[in-house]
């Protein structure tokens, strides 16, 4: 369900109450979005905490150009991008590559179980797409944003969003067709 209306955060509410309201309203969705992006549940929870810290810091500066929902999603995407570009993430990738195979499988199994619980086989295949395709599919089909809204959240042109959706559908179609043959 898309929540496009702004939460009623009046001047009578203080920032703490406003943040609490936004966390209750959007917290689970933000964790899911971060997970879709970084594919690590624990890191997604950390990112969600950072997102709401940033929301709290900037709550007074919210201009209302979009809904709170879209604004918070955009902050989440930016935090996820920052994480993936960070030296910390690159260190984790290097460390993961030198760990023993059984410990890699355990983390992979935890993430795969989470993906299966979230939506089954098709969801798992979506999660295997490259990030640029995965995010437009998630935002369009799972979160029900329009292509215009997705373009704003991801800082892309709407035509780029439509192209990525088309390519992602084609990739999924091919993956599912190959598995049907096997």
Closest C-alpha among 45, 111, 38 to residue 78? 38
Q: For the chain, how many structural domains are there in total?
A: 1
Residue 171 forms part of a structural domain: no
The pLDDT of 133-153, averaged and rounded, is 90
Predicted pLDDT at 115 = 44
> What distances in angstroms separate CA 40 from CA 17, 26, 149, 170, one per listed residue?
29, 19, 25, 26
Q: Rounded distance, CA 155 to CA 80, Å?
A: 14
**Phi then psi dihedrals of residue 6, to 5 deg:** -80, 140
- Per the structure, the complete domain to which residue 27 belongs is given by 12-98
- Mean pLDDT score of the chain: 78
Q: Tens of pLDDT along 147-173?
A: 999 999 999 999 999 999 999 999 988
Residue 20 forms part of a structural domain: yes
Q: Among 69-83, 108-122, 131-145, whose mean pLDDT is lowest? A: 108-122
- Give the domain CATH number at 16: 1.10.1740.10
Residue 6 has pLDDT above 80, yes or no: no
The label of the residue with tokens 């979506």 reads 126
Asked if 36 and 80 count as a contact pair (C-beta separation under 8 A), the reply is: no
Residue 122 has pLDDT above 70, yes or no: yes
Residue 99 has pLDDT above 90, yes or no: no
For residue 135, give every residue at least 6 positions away whose Cβ sits within 8 Å of its Cβ, in sequence order, or none: 36, 37, 77, 154
Residue 5 has pLDDT above 50, yes or no: no
The pLDDT of 69-83, averaged and rounded, is 91
Predicted pLDDT at 60 = 87
**Phi then psi dihedrals of residue 131, to 5 deg:** -50, -45
* HEC profile of 122-158: HHHHHHCCCHHHHHHHHHHHHCCCCHHHHHHHHCCCH
Residue 105 has pLDDT above 50, yes or no: no
């Amino acid at each position: 369900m898309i929540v496009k209306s702004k939460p009623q955060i009046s001047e009578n509410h203080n920032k703490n109450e406003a943040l609490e309201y936004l966390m209750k309203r959007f917290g689970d969705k933000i964790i899911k979005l971060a997970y879709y992006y970084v594919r690590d549940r624990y890191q997604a929870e950390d990112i969600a905490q950072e997102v709401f810290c940033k929301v709290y810091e900037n709550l007074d500066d919210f201009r209302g150009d979009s809904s709170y929902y879209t604004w918070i999603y955009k902050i989440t995407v930016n935090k996820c991008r920052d994480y993936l570009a960070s030296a910390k993430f690159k260190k984790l990738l290097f460390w993961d590559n030198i760990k023993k195979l059984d410990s890699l499988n355990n983390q992979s199994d935890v993430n795969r179980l989470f993906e299966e619980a979230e939506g089954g086989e098709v969801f798992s295949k979506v999660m295997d797409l490259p990030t640029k395709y995965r995010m437009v599919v998630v935002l369009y089909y799972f979160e029900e944003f329009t292509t215009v809204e997705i373009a704003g959240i991801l800082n892309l042109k709407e035509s780029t969003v439509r192209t990525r959706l088309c390519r992602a559908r084609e990739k999924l179609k091919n993956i599912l067709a190959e598995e049907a043959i096997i």
